[in-house]
Structure 1
Amino acid sequence: MERAAAPPVHTPDGGGPSTDAASTVAGLQRKLAARDKVIAVLKKRVTARDDSAASPLATLQQNVALGKIVAMKTRELSEERHELQRALTELGRTQAALLQAQKMESVGQLAAGIAHEINTPAQYVRDNVAFVRKGMDAVDEVLAAALAVIDTARGRGGLEAPVEAFEAAVRRTRFDFLRSQMPEALDQSLEGLERISTIVGAMKRFSHPSAGVKERVDLRPLVETAVTVARNEWKYLAELETDFAGDVPEVCCLRDEIGQVLLNLVVNAAHAIADSLVPGERDKGRIAISLRRFGDRHVDIRVADDGPGIPEAIRTRVFDPFFTTKPVGKGTGQGLAMAYSTVVEKHGGALFFETADGAAAGTTFVVRLPIEAAGVGS
């Protein structure tokens, strides 16, 4: 698949999930700068006064007045610094709350699919168990007939009637079919239960918070978890394959937040492919996820799809908060903006894409993470 050169990492312009908090902080910073200038001017007046132009008493009075003003302005500056600190703290809390809300939104969007994923194996487990239960009734009937033959043989009586009854029971209950199918039914039941366990385990791992503490994480199971959680989004639209290099080390990161980034990218890839499918011509696309080292200090996670690519007109807006090409009610436009914030600002990494125009030109999103802790929260 031919790709265009990767554009530079795009930093979202203003606005976004924390607009009010950010505006408050910016306003406070402007006030602090103005206060600093006023105090500097006052101090300059004190030190640069012309002693010869005023009497000692007037000079003393002027100094006292200026001293009071400086003291007042200093108190105001201190209060505003405290207010700024409170605003910054609140901004951090708001960002954390928005990230959790975005995660819950993703879980909510996927809930119906996950319910379907769990219900399907559960359904055939129930059907197979019911089948085995009915089969056991037939087995009991055949065994009863066989025991009757044995009892007759023990009594040294005639065997023709019991044998005929035994053969009739075998035919009536399709005993040979049951013997061949019951083990397969039980195997499918076990497989279904295993799939349910996998899905539930993936959801637990995905939803478990990392409490804002970076830890060493094996990215392979993290990718597999995101793929499992998003399975109902892509399984009808694409074939998905993973390719993990053997030399990829553990990465020090916020596990649940990087998991959220991967989930967003997989779902976006599936939705992009959906826009390029044509019944009878192109029934399924392809998603490829790879893990590779990048140099000595980074690991690349690449999520590639063979969808229609990103039009040139909107490429510079992809990471902007609230920007989305999806219909109203289908997307908030926060997924990639939050992913950018997580990868770039919190981990000191890079998030960019490679794309080209065309029916199946495709797009590859690259998450480049430092192996060692970097960025906010290290």
Structure 2
Amino acid sequence: GEDDVHFTDSPFHLVVESGETIRDDDAVFVTNDGEALCVAFACSPLIENGINRGTTVSFRDISARKEAQNEALQASKLASVGQLAAGIAHEINTPTQYIGDNLRFLGEAHRDLAAVLDAYRKLARAAGRAGVLGESVAAAEAAAEEVDLEYLLREIPAATDQSLGGVERGARIVLAMKEFSHPGARDKTAADLNRAIENTLMVCRNEWKHVADVDTDLDPALPPVICLPDELNQVFLNLIINAAHAIDEAGGGAGEDGKGRITIATRGDEDWVEIRVSDTGGGIPDEIGEHVFDPFFTTKEVGKGTGQGLSICRDVVVEKHAGRIFFESVPGKGTAFVVRLPVNGQDATSEAA
């Protein structure tokens, strides 16, 4: 590949030339089948009778260590985002509350003023019928017509309600961000996965809103699950964003607006819960299906994916929650990723294959 190192520029050649030992605790070897292997190695000269006859190389696989480091980095990032979100929530919530309270006051005040204005208008009509205050009544009616009073009485409440709706939506987004990214406890706790999915959808809406419509079929009777909520939030985030990217890479969808469709469903299954994230993207080709959960495996362009997303998902679901994650895919039609989790948070009951 373009990043391969030629022998003349490699550590092995330098050892031959200099006779010195070279060590590297963070290197990548490429195997014959093209796979990258993270290693720590030492390369030393092979001296016989004072003559450098070649080199010896010793190395060890550090993939597990690298994966642990990446996981720790991811956790650190989530913790930082959580702290940032908490600070943002604190800063935004106070002015948002002021705006919301003032809009509610304006809405109530408008209703009161409209009632008073209606009483004055009745008084003006009565004065007109009695033939008194003719000039004043005419001036009042002209002023009402000039400002289009009927339009204001109709549109001010609508504008206030729309503004209040926008403020409430903003408050929900901030709360969703706070709940999604709040650094979780190390111990498992009962969590509402339906709410976690709704929060995740709101947090990552900008990733999917231009390429897909989202349908949710969330089981209202879904039991709370003993889990690490913040880590499952990351799983849901990865699956939803992957679905959006799959649709985008497939050129959109068959909808009238050119969008694809993401469907998220939950259901209970005795001692298990199941979360299914489906998309109408291009599907997963058979030849790469067995590699999608491998660390660092990605089909995306350089800079658009690290190949860690689904690997992290598998680690969270299988290793940390004794669950299962798998996919069903039809090339050209789409893919569904399925996550199954034990309700009690541990593999106390074996699941039928």
TM-score range, shorter chain: 0.5 to 0.7
**Matching residue within 281, 289, 297 for 2:264:** 289
**2: CA distance between counterparts of 1:95 and 1:332?**
11
Q: Please list, as runs of the form range in 1=range in 2, the aligned pairs for 1:270-281 lying within 5 A after superposition.
A: 270-276=244-250, 277=252
Cα deviations by residue, 1:1-41 (Å, 9 ceiling, x for unpaired):
xxxxxxxxxxxxx979xx56xx79xxxxxxxxxxxxxxxxx
Q: 1:330 aligns with which of 304, 324, 327?
A: 304
| Structure of larger gyration radius | 1
1:368 aligns with 2:340: yes
Supply the distance in 1 between the matched residues of 2:247 and 2:273 (Cα, whole angstroms): 26
- Where does residue 11 of structure 1 map in the other structure? none
Flag structure 2 segments of 5+ consecutive residues without an equivalent: 1-34, 42-61, 86-91, 348-353
Q: Distance in 2 between matches of 1:105 and 1:189?
A: 32
Aligned length: 267
Matched ranges for 1:109-148 at <5 A? none
**Contact 2:326 2:339 (8 Å CA) reproduced:** yes
Alignment of 1:1-378 (within 5 A): 94=69, 96-101=71-76, 103=78, 159-276=133-250, 277=252, 283-294=258-269, 296-358=270-332, 361-374=333-346
Higher relative contact order (CA 8 A, sep 6+): 1
Change (3 A) 1:206 1:337: same
Name the CA shift for 1:218/1:280 in 2 (closer, same or farther; >3 Å). closer
User: 1:210 Cα deviation (Å)?
Assistant: 1.5
TM, length-normalised to structure 1: 0.60
Distance 1:313 1:282, change over 3 A: farther
Q: Normalized against structure 2, the TM-score is what?
A: 0.64
Shift in Å at residue 246 of structure 1? Answer: 3.9
CA shift digits 1:283-306 (9 cap, x unpaired): 111111111123x33211100111
Residue 191 of structure 1, CA deviation: 0.6
Instruction: Give the deviation of 1:180 after TM superposition.
Output: 0.3
Aligned 8 A contact 2:200 2:236 in 1: yes
Whole-Å separation in 1 of the counterparts to 2:241 and 2:80: 13
**RMSD in angstroms over aligned alpha carbons?**
4.1
Looking at structure 2, the residues matched to 252 and 308 of structure 1 have their Cα atoms a distance apart, in angstroms, of: 34
Provide the rounded CA distance (Å) in 1 between the counterparts of 2:220 and 2:255. 39
Overall identity of the aligned pairs, in %: 45
Q: Which has the higher helix share?
A: 1
Equivalent AA in structure 1 for residue 75 of structure 2 = Q
For residues 261 and 92 of structure 1, the distance between their equivalents in structure 2, rounded to whole angstroms, comes to 16
**Alpha carbons of structure 1 residues 297 and 188: separation in structure 2 relative to 1, 3 Å:** same
For 1:371 and 1:308, the matched residues in 2 are separated by 33
Q: Aligned in 2, Cα 1:278/1:91: closer, same or farther, shift over 3 Å?
A: closer
